[in-house]
Structure 1
Amino acid sequence: MEGQDHRGGKEAEMVTPARRQHGLLPDLIDWAESFPSMFGFRPASGIQGIRVEDFVEDGMYVVRAELPGIDPGKDVTITVDDRLLTISAERSEQTTEKNRSEFRYGSFSRAVALPADAKEEDIKASYAKGILTVRVPVDETAKVHRKIEIETGDES
């Protein structure tokens, strides 16, 4: 059942990142914040989102988040509250060159709605090669698969 989405309704909409309201030129600001760091350029706001993918595989709802260069033991927090899984991270970086020092700081957060049948008490997380993987067991025995018949009427 890989790739099958067990969420429905309004909760499923939470998987997509919330767009911040910037007032003037929101598309330009969103573009600048996602622009790759070329020639040392960093977006002025210092805020970027956490890129995630989520899927169901082998009885687990899996969320994978890109968090390169982060120390998961001290820079990452994972919380769950009322079926909402939130991943938060902070990154600070200092570069020193001749006659110049620069300090950058950013905090990141991403929330996804868990499936209704998620076993929140059994959530596990691991981190390897810049990828945080959160595994949430789901109760697949409660799933009922049935075909829905379509009624047709005479159009006379």
Structure 2
Amino acid sequence: MTMTLVRYNPFRDLDILQRQMNRLFDESFLSDTKENGIPAAEISETEDAIHLKLELPGIAKEDLDIQVTKNAVSVSGERKEETKTETNGVTRSEFRYGKFSRVIPLPVHVQNNNVTAQYKDGILTLTLPKSEEEKNKVVKVQVG
């Protein structure tokens, strides 16, 4: 009978533990984001306005609360989803409820009393006109 000598490496156990913790954190973070329904956002800027799109599938426009200050947008709401399927006489029902809230800081001041909103196919689109002082921030100077 021969024995094989194996060298013990204590750092190997720490490495395994760290990978397991990272995976647990990543899975927990991703599932929390999906379950809480934190909406994905896209922001773009033109000369006259800020354009903000939020992805809000499965939420009725009546369940949205949108508030705009001169330098931020707050969107909150409640998702109420129910799906039922029936296969071979077995009914499967799933409910998904959850509130969400997201505050998005704006890169410039806007005219919060002149905002337009559209909601179609689960996409909320806000057009936030820039305040006059922001529009006139860059002034062309003539050299004499």
Q: Same fold (TM over 0.5)?
A: yes
Q: Which residue of 2 aligns with 1:20?
A: none
Matched, 1:141 2:130: no
5+ unaligned residues in a row in structure 1: which ranges?
1-24, 35-42, 147-156
Q: Which residue of 1 aligns with 2:77?
A: 89
Q: Pick the structure with more helix per residue.
A: 2
Give the 4+ runs in structure 1 shifted more than 6 A.
none
Q: How many residues align?
A: 112
TM-fit CA distance, 1:31: 2.6
- Give, in whole Å, the separation in 1 of the partners of 2:136 and 2:80: 44
Percent identity between matched residues is 35
Change (3 A) 1:47 1:100: same
Aligned partner (choices 101, 105, 127) of residue 119 of structure 2: 127
TM-fit CA distance, 1:100: 4.2
Change (3 A) 1:92 1:141: closer
TM-fit CA distance, 1:82: 5.8
5+ unaligned residues in a row in structure 2: which ranges?
1-23
Aligned partner (choices 37, 48, 54) of residue 59 of structure 1: 48
Normalised by the size of structure 2, how large is the TM-score? 0.64
Q: Which residue of 1 aligns with 2:63?
A: 75
TM-fit CA distance, 1:116: 4.0
Normalised by the size of structure 1, how large is the TM-score? 0.60
- Give, in whole Å, the separation in 1 of the partners of 2:26 and 2:70: 32
Q: Which residue of 1 aligns with 2:28?
A: 29
When Rg is computed on C-alpha atoms for both structures, the one with the higher figure is: 2
Q: Pick the structure with more strand per residue.
A: 2
- Give, in whole Å, the separation in 1 of the partners of 2:76 and 2:63: 8
